[in-house]
């Protein structure tokens, strides 16, 4: 390895380390405040936690029905993740075929991605009400059951699978649904991981849609619970940041469990060969 290449690697790693340090500072500060409850406006701020304790987490657990909100969020996220893997894989598998309206459908998908969800909230609410899904888990998961970005992630992964495998399966007499679930999905683990992470994060952080369709308190999810918590209690920096940590912890855990496959799924199809 020549000196110029070595210097380039050192510079790259230094820049990445600095960017990572800047990104991790807010996370560290949230965790530190959740353990100390110190005033955020004290100057100069203390870099290390003083007298840390977990009492603020206990307060959050007992002040509000945190466990109920957590179970609701987990159940809704499970529905969203399962629906995304199934529906997105079916849509991506269909886009492998050659038919006249294929390009038109892809253009329609790309155009729909440019429309913010807020503009379609009223029709979505009316449709959900017509189906009788208000104040239900399925209603909470309804708008996120299939997402266009994840469809294209699946399609990119399916396009990388040799056509000969599909032809061989057809010769063996396998129907399309078995080819999808027995051949294509097992070979697309990176795309599945990407679908799981993205759909989980979007569902877990969803606030506007549950706020609109949920009127029962026992059906609220964690983002709504956090909003209610902030409206009921004041001067609770420790409890508030403890709540935030308890909300974002599952997202970080899910991402770390699927990090390698997530990165592989995001770039799948970008490199041929």
How much is the pLDDT for 67? 87
Quote the CA–CA distance of 253 and 12 in Å, as a whole number: 27
The helix or strand, by DSSP H or E, that contains position 251, with its residue range, turns out to be helix 237-257
Whole-angstrom distance, CA of residue 265 vs CA of residue 271: 12
How high is the mean pLDDT of the chain?
83
**Cβ–Cβ under 8 Å, residues 171 and 122:** no
More confident residue, 222 or 50: 222
Whether 273 shows a pLDDT value over 50: the answer reads no
As given in the structure block, the two tokens for residue 161 are 């699978």
Please check whether residue 225 is in contact with residue 69, taking contact to mean a CB–CB distance below 8 angstroms: yes
Model's pTM, two decimal places? 0.81
Contact 154, 195 (CB under 8 A): yes
Question: How wide is the angle at C-alpha 61 spanned by C-alphas 55 and 64, nearest 5°?
Answer: 125
* Alpha-carbon span 150 to 156, nearest angstrom: 10
With contact defined as beta carbons under 8 Å apart, do 138 and 203 qualify?
no
Among residues 73, 37, 27, 29, which one has the least CA distance to residue 225?
73
pLDDT in tens, 75-91: 999 999 999 999 999 99
Is pLDDT above 60 for 238? yes
Residue 261: predicted pLDDT:
65
- Name the residue among 253, 271, 134 with its Cα closest to residue 197: 253
């Amino acid at each position: 390895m020549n000196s110029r290449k070595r210097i380039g690697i050192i510079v790259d790693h230094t820049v990445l380390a600095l960017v990572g340090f800047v990104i991790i500072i807010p996370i560290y500060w949230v965790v530190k405040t959740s353990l100390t409850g110190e005033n955020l406006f004290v100057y100069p701020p203390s870099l290390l936690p003083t007298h840390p304790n977990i009492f603020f987490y206990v307060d959050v657990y007992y002040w509000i029905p945190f466990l109920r909100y957590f179970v609701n969020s987990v159940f809704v996220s499970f529905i969203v993740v399962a629906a995304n893997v199934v529906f997105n894989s079916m849509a991506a598998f269909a886009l492998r075929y050659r038919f006249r309206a294929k390009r038109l459908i892809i253009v329609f998908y790309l155009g729909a991605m440019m429309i913010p969800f807020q503009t379609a909230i009223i029709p979505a609410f009316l449709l959900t009400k017509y189906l009788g899904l208000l104040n239900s888990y399925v209603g909470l998961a309804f708008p996120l059951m299939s997402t266009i970005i994840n469809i294209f992630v699946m399609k990119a992964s399916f396009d990388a699978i040799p056509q000969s495998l599909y032809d061989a399966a057809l010769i063996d007499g396998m129907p399309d649904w078995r080819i999808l679930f027995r051949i294509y999905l097992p070979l697309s683990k990176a795309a599945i991981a990407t679908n799981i992470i993205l759909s989980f994060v979007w569902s877990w952080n969803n606030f506007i849609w549950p706020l609109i369709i949920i009127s029962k308190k026992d059906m609220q999810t964690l983002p709504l619970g956090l909003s209610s918590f902030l409206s009921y209690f004041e001067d609770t920096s420790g409890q508030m940041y403890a709540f935030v940590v308890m909300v974002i912890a599952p997202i970080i855990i899910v991402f770390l469990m699927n990090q390698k496959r997530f990165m592989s799924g995001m770039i799948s199809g970008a490199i041929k060969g």
